Amino acid sequence: MNRNETANPGAIGLDVGTSRIVAARQADQQIRYTAQLNAFVGIPYSRITQNVLQREGVPHTIQGDEIIVTGNESERFADFLNKDIRRTMSHGLINADEPDGAKFIRAIASSVAGKAEKGQKLCFTVPAAPIGAAETLTYHEAALRQILGGLGFEVSSINEGLAVVYAELDGTNYTGIGISCGGGLCNVCFSYLSVPVLTFSLPKAGDFIDGSAASVIGERANRVRMLKEQSFYLNGHSPLENKLQQVLTVYYDDLIQSLVASLRSAFQSARNLPKLSRPIPLVLSGGTAIPEGFRDRFESALRSSDFPIALSEIRMAAEPQNTTAKGALVAALSSM
């Protein structure tokens, strides 16, 4: 690290998602990512277990007669203990049913963002409100500002869909549609020359698929999610057991149809959209959009929906699970 880098600490982009928290930072002309599952699980306390977790570097805290394991390892412990992980967030917002949710968001965010240096900037993602919702996201954003500011960072925020645009559409001067299909929400942003013109979210995403499939086959949602991420494909060539493959496909198709219907409705009812001289790109991102065949099914559904905006392409982001963190980093760097 040279003197300039020491005096001017690198900015961080932080995707605070329902499923994962991802940090992006620039190093040696490349963007590097650090991610942890945004979840936790309680396991029985013992001094031996505590010592082993410390030696293995597994993030955890002691709470009463339990050890609370946070981040990626919480999924593995929950699986072999036959219980579901607990979420700090639900439907894109801090989980009101988890009194310690904010506390563990702080712990997980700290583990991926690291220790703040003086003056270090951090831009974090926030979702858009659902279509037609009167509620605001004021509390969620303010709580995250307090949590992350309390870690010592100079914080700002960016809409999650706009972060997709910033990450992927510099070639069109940030004009186009960015969609992030995450765990709790699908976030959409139509941006014109970097200005967010239309933003909204759909409260149906990866958790909806996992929970719905789990209820049909009598399995835990956490287990379904693990199996889905390991080997599910929408093109019919998945090695998953037939029943789970069938059920996941049904709910993926339901999600895609709901997203397309919401897009069509939002753009048809929007007022004062800018007049476009040429077709614009649409970029898909997020962990829920990763299964092979998702883009093709989405494009087929959208192209046949009489969508009112001409599209030049519908493509996947280069790194779907890291896209919003990258866009947040772009926003953070632009303020330096």
Q: Which residues face 62 on adjacent strands?
A: 67
> What is the mean pLDDT of each successive set of 10 residues along the chain, which is 336 residues long?
46 97 93 97 96 94 95 93 93 93 95 94 96 78 97 97 98 98 97 97 96 94 90 75 88 98 95 93 97 96 95 98 98 90
**Amino acid at residue number 311:** L
Cα-flanking dihedrals φ and ψ of residue 100, to 5°?
A: -100, 15
Q: Which residues face 123 on adjacent strands?
A: 13, 156
Residues in the chain: 336
Residue among 210, 176, 162, 159 at smallest CA distance from 39: 210
Report the SS3 class of residue 124: strand
Cβ–Cβ < 8 Å for 131, 200: yes
Give 71-95 as a DSSP string.
THHHHHHHHHTT---EESEETTEE-
Q: What is the pLDDT of residue 3?
A: 32
Cβ–Cβ < 8 Å for 285, 317: yes
Q: What is the pLDDT of residue 291?
A: 94
Q: List the structure tokens of 25.
A: 């930072």
Q: What is the pLDDT of residue 308?
A: 94
Report d(CA 336, CA 334) in Å as an integer: 6
Q: What is the pLDDT of residue 326?
A: 98
Output the pTM of the full model.
0.93
Q: What is the pLDDT of residue 204?
A: 95
Q: What is the pLDDT of residue 5?
A: 36
Q: List the structure tokens of 132.
A: 């037609």
Q: Which residues face 121 on adjacent strands?
A: 154
